[in-house]
Chain A
Amino acid sequence: EVQLLESGGGLVQPGGSLRLSCAASGFTFNNYAMTWVRQAAGKGLEWVSTTGSGGAGSYYTDSVKGRFTVSRDNSKNTLYLHMNKLRDEDTAIYYCAKDLAAGGMNDPSFDYWGQGILVTVSS
């Protein structure tokens, strides 16, 4: 059974940093691209970042470029999101999601999602 379990969320002041983790199990982690998606309260889904199966090829939405870094440790089956210079508008539930197709990064869609972790940026 595929499971994705996020951790590391919480309350942080504006300008602060946080690292989210997503522990994966039930599939061959290093074969799949992985993605972070967030949803602010009362808002829609927003793509944040995707990293390829081998860790090469990482992409970000414009609003987090230069502040967030996605990484993965395939030996630990874990995906990370390093978030720096956090802003109020980064407050959201963050989900990690698995790409449906193994291998490349073409035409992504996401067949498994974690339960989500809340990040609150506030003074």
Chain B
Amino acid sequence: SYDLTQSPSMSVSPGQTATITCSGDRLGDRYASWYQVKPGQSPVLVIYQDSKRPSGIPERFSGSNSGTTATLTISGTQAMDEADYYCQAWDTSTAWSVVFGGGTELTVL
């Protein structure tokens, strides 16, 4: 099976840049998506196809993907960005499947 690895947690000061990474074998050869999950709420798609933002997602959210690492960058992080962030990719190496990373808890303090 295909695995995506994320650091469990990180913290950032308000106004600073948060960089959340997701690693997987040849991840750069496939698209990565990112989801924001706040306590008690449903996931929200913030980045798809590596770097595209859905309508309504602030410009401070950006993404990239190359080699073995996909990156979600939050520029000018705000308190409202405190959440868990999950990367996601599609895998067909053994069977059709969707894979999520373990999630990164972002604390803004």
A residues with CB within 8 A of B: 35, 37, 39, 44-47, 50, 57, 59, 61-62, 95, 97, 100, 105-111, 113-116
Contacts and interface: CB of A to CB of B under 8 A. Distances in A.
A46 B100 contact: yes
Interface string B44-65: 1100110000100000000000
Interface size grouping (class) on chain B: 20 to 34
B81 to A, nearest CB: 18
B99 A47 contact: yes
B97 A109 contact: no
B42 A116 contact: yes
A46 B84 CA distance: 14
A56 to B, nearest CB: 12
Contact of A109 (B31, B37, B42, B103): B31
A111 B54 CA distance: 8
B47 to A, nearest CB: 9
Interface stretch (B11-19, B66-74, B88-96): B88-96
Nearest to A39: B37
A38 to B, nearest CB: 11
